[in-house]
Amino acid sequence: MRIHLVNPSDISFGVAVITPRWLYVLASATPEQYGAPRLVDETLERFDPDIVAPGDVVGIGIHTANAHRGYEIGRAARARGAQVVFGGVHPTLYPDEPRQHGGAHAVVRGDGDLVWGSVVDDCAAGTLRELYEGGRVEGRSFFGGRWDLLPKDGYMWASVQTVRGCPKHCSFCSVWRTDGQQPRMRSADDVVNELRDLRSRGFRFCVLADDNFYPVTLNDLAMAKRRSDPTALQELEAVRRERFELMERLADLPDDMSFFTQITMEAAEDPAFLDAMRKARIRGALVGVESVTAEGLKSIYKDFNLAGDALVDRLQIFRKHGVHVLASFIFGLPTDTASTFDATAALAQAADVTFAQFVLLQPFPGTVDFERWEKSQVSPPTIDNVPLTRHWLLPTARRPKIYMPHPSLAPEQIREYTQGVWDRFYSLPAIWKRAQCIRSMKGRLAFVLISKLYRQMYANTGIATDSARHARANRMARLLARSVRRFFVTPVRPEALAAGPRG
Ligand code: B12
Ligand code: SF4
C-alpha cells in the first residue's frame, strides 16, 4: 500500500513560489511503516493517475479555489482502485461534498497532524470510516514538514507556521471559524529547528504562514487588566512573552535568513514588538488594511483598524521600524462609492507602504459574508447547472469574478475603478517615489522591477484564467520571487528608517 499526497492545481509549471506546507506536514504525520509518501504538487507537475495502484491511499488537500481540480483527481484515483481521503479547509466546511463530487471514501475535518496516522492505519486494516475529526490541534503538537522530500529547486520560498487561529472576527475571513480564535502557538524550539533544517537545504527567505503574527494587542492587555479575575491577563501575557521569545530565537539564527508574515495593524501601536520583529529579520508583513473608511471597516467587523489620517500615521510606523508593508485593500464593500477608490489610491501612496494589493470582495465559504449572501440567494442563478452559491464546483474559467450585488455600483464599475487604483499605485512615477527609501541606484531599479512584476501578476483582479496568462504569470512569479528575496534580505537602511521615503 503506497501513500500519495496530492496538492491540486489547474496548471503546472515545474517551479513554484511557496511550498504548500500541508503536503510536507502530512508526510511527517505518515507512520514510518508505510514508507515515505509520494508527494505530488500540481503547481509543479500534473498528477498522473497511472502511478496509483489498487489499494493505495491518495490523500488530497483542498481549499475552496482548487476544490474543482481536487475532485477530478479524487475521481480518477478512485477509478484506479485507490482509497481516497480528502482534507483541508474546504472539506472541513463541506465534509459531504468530496464524497458527492470527488470520489472520496473518507474525509478528515480540521487539522491532519494527529489523526492522519490512524486514517492510514484504518486504510491498511480495511476499516476506513467516512469521517474523521482532526479537531484543532494544540500548537505544541503541530508537526514540522518532512523537507527531506522536497524536489530539488522546486520552490523559491519555504513556509513555516508559528501560530494558528486569530482572535478577531472579520466578516470576510474564515480563519477564526475554522482555526478558532484562540492562538495556538508552536514552541520556539520547534520553529527554529525547522528553519535550521530549511536553511541547510538552501532556503534563506521563509514565509511565516501565520494567520496573525500579533495575536495579543496592547489593548487586549489593557482590557484584561481592568477585570477583577487575573486569569485572562495572565494568559495573554504568556502569549505575548512567547511571541517575544520566538522573535529572540529568530534573531539568533544566521543573519542571512529573513522572513515575511501577516499581521494586524495594531502592532504599530507596540514599538517594542516592531523592534523585536526587526531584530528577528521579519522584513515584511501583509497588513489587512481592507478599507479606508470607518463605515467600511465597521461593515466587515474590522473597526479595530483605523481610517483616514490616523491610518496613514499608523501604517508609516511599520517602515520606521524596518518592516515593509504589503497593504491589502478590499474593494466592493457595500459602503464603497466611486470616491472610495480615489481615497484608497491616495491613502496607499501617502502611507509609505512598500507594496499594495487591491482585491475584490468575495464570499468565501465559512465566512459571515458567505452566510449572508447565501441566505439572500433564495433561488440562485445557475451556470452549467451549478448554483452560483456553489461556484467552486465550476471550472475556474466559468466562475464569475464578482458575486455579491453592490447597492450602488455595477460589477463593471467596481472592476474598472479597481484597475484604476492598481494603475495609479504602480505607475512609474509613484513607484520611483517609493524607491527613494533605497540608497543605491541598483536597489532602486530592482524595486521598480519588483513593483512592476507584482502589479502584472496580481492586477486585473488577480486570478488568471487562461493558460497563456497563467504561464506568463508564473514566469513573472519566478522572477518576482528571486527579486523579492534579494530585496527583503537587504535590511532597510537606518537613515531611511528615520527619514521615510525621500524625494
Ligand atoms: C500561507 C497561505 C497562503 C499562501 C499559500 C502558500 C502555499 N503555497 O501554501 C498564499 C499567500 C500564496 C495564499 C494564497 C491564497 N490564499 Co491563502 N492562506 C494561507 C494561510 C495563512 C496558511 C496556509 C498554511 O500553509 N497552513 C499550514 C498548513 C499545515 O495548514 P493547512 O493547509 O490548513 O493543512 C492542515 C489541515 O487543513 C489538514 N489538511 C490539509 N490538507 C489535507 C489533506 C488531507 C488528506 C488531510 C487528511 C488533511 C489535510 O491538515 C493540515 C495539517 O494540520 C491560510 C490560513 C489558514 N489558517 O489555513 C490561508 C487560506 C488557506 N488562504 C485563503 C485564500 C482565500 C487564499 C487566496 C484565494 C487569496 C486570494 N484572494 O488570492 C489565494 C489562493 C491561492 C491559490 N493557489 O488558489 C483562505 C482559504 C479560504 C477557503 N475557504 O478556501 C485561507 C483559509 C485564509 C482566509 N483568510 O480565509 N495563501
Ligand atoms: S482577516 Fe486577519 S485579522 Fe481578520 S479574522 Fe482573518 S486572520 Fe484574523
pLDDT, tens digit (0-9, with 9 covering 90-100), for 402-414: 788 899 999 999 9
Q: How far is the CA of 224 from the centre of ligand 2 (A)?
A: 21
Taking Cα atoms as reference points, which of 63, 279, 286, 46 lies closest to residue 174? 63
Angle, helices 338-350 vs 411-425, to 10°: value is 20
Cell of 332: 466592493
Is residue 328's pLDDT more than 70?
yes
Q: How far is the CA of 359 from the centre of ligand 2 (A)?
A: 15
Compute the average pLDDT of residues 474-478.
65
Q: Which of 211, 264, 299, 302 to mutate to test the pocket of ligand 2 (most atoms within 8 A of CB)?
A: 211
41-98 pLDDT, tens digit each: 999 999 999 999 999 999 999 999 999 999 999 999 999 999 999 999 999 999 999 9
Taking Cα atoms as reference points, which of 395, 308, 318 lies closest to residue 353? 318
| pLDDT band at 348; cut points 50, 70, 90 | very high
User: How far is residue 250's CA from residue 245's CA, in Å, rounded to a whole number?
Assistant: 9
Is residue 482's pLDDT more than 70?
no
377-404 pLDDT, tens digit each: 888 889 999 999 999 999 988 988 778 8
Q: What is the pTM of this model?
A: 0.92
Kindly report the length of the chain: 503
- Identify which has the larger pLDDT, 153 or 34: 34
Helix (H) or strand (E) holding 210: none
Q: Which of 161, 164, 210, 212 to mutate to test the pocket of ligand 2 (most atoms within 8 A of CB)?
A: 212
Contact 410/469 with Cβ under 8 angstroms?
no
Cell of 276: 523585536
How much is the pLDDT for 46?
95
Q: Which residues contact 360 (CB under 8 A, 6 or more apart)?
A: 330, 331, 332, 401, 402, 414, 415, 418, 461, 462
How much is the pLDDT for 399?
87
Closest ligand (CA of 209): 1
Cell of 173: 475571513
User: How far is residue 229's CA from residue 238's CA, in Å, rounded to a whole number?
Assistant: 16
364 lines ligand 2 (CB under 6 A): no
Query: Which of ligand 1's atoms lies nearest the C-alpha of 19?
Result: 8
Strand positions, DSSP E, 362-449:
382-383, 386-387
Is residue 498's pLDDT more than 50?
no
Cα angle value 57/59/61 (rounded, 5°): 175
Strand partners, 155: 16
209 lines ligand 2 (CB under 6 A): no
Mean pLDDT, the chain, as a whole number? 91
Compute the average pLDDT of residues 365-373.
95
Cell of 417: 475603478
| pLDDT band at 454; cut points 50, 70, 90 | confident
64 lines ligand 1 (CB under 6 A): yes
How many other C-beta atoms can be found within 10 angstroms of the C-beta atom of residue 375? 9
Q: How far is the CA of 229 from the centre of ligand 1 (A)?
A: 37
Q: Which residues contact 493 (CB under 8 A, 6 or more apart)?
A: 437, 438, 439
How many other C-beta atoms can be found within 10 angstroms of the C-beta atom of residue 495? 10
Is residue 342's pLDDT more than 80?
yes
Cell of 312: 496613514
Compute the average pLDDT of residues 231-251.
97
| pLDDT band at 461; cut points 50, 70, 90 | very low
DSSP 166-181: -S---TT--HHHHT-S
User: How far is residue 70's CA from residue 93's CA, in Å, rounded to a whole number?
Assistant: 15
How much is the pLDDT for 459?
63
| pLDDT band at 446; cut points 50, 70, 90 | confident
- Which burial class, exposed, middle or buried, applies to 485 when counting CB atoms under 10 A from its CB (0-12, 13-18, 19+)? middle
Query: Which of ligand 2's atoms lies nearest the C-alpha of 264?
Result: 3
How much is the pLDDT for 496?
37
Sheet of 38-41, strands arranged across: 38-41, 3-7, 57-61, 83-87, 106-110, 131-135
307 lines ligand 2 (CB under 6 A): no
Compute the average pLDDT of residues 201-209.
95
Q: Whose CA is nearest to atom 78 of ligand 1?
A: 65
208 lines ligand 1 (CB under 6 A): no
| pLDDT band at 15; cut points 50, 70, 90 | confident
How much is the pLDDT for 404?
82
Contact 4/51 with Cβ under 8 angstroms?
yes
Q: Tell me the backbone φ, ψ of residue 409, rounded to 5 degrees.
A: -115, 140
Q: Which of 162, 175, 263, 328 to mutate to test the pocket of ligand 2 (most atoms within 8 A of CB)?
A: 175
Contact 60/126 with Cβ under 8 angstroms?
no
Largest CA distance in the chain: 69
Q: What percent of the chain has pLDDT over 90?
A: 80
161 lines ligand 1 (CB under 6 A): yes
Cell of 242: 512567547
Give CA 458 to chain center in angstroms: 14
Locus of grid cell 532602486 = 444
Cell of 279: 531584530
Q: Which residues contact 75 (CB under 8 A, 6 or more apart)?
A: 102, 103
211 lines ligand 2 (CB under 6 A): yes
Q: Tell me the backbone φ, ψ of residue 359, rounded to 5 degrees.
A: -105, 160
How many other C-beta atoms can be found within 10 angstroms of the C-beta atom of residue 231? 9
Query: Which of ligand 1's atoms lies nearest the C-alpha of 62?
Result: 41
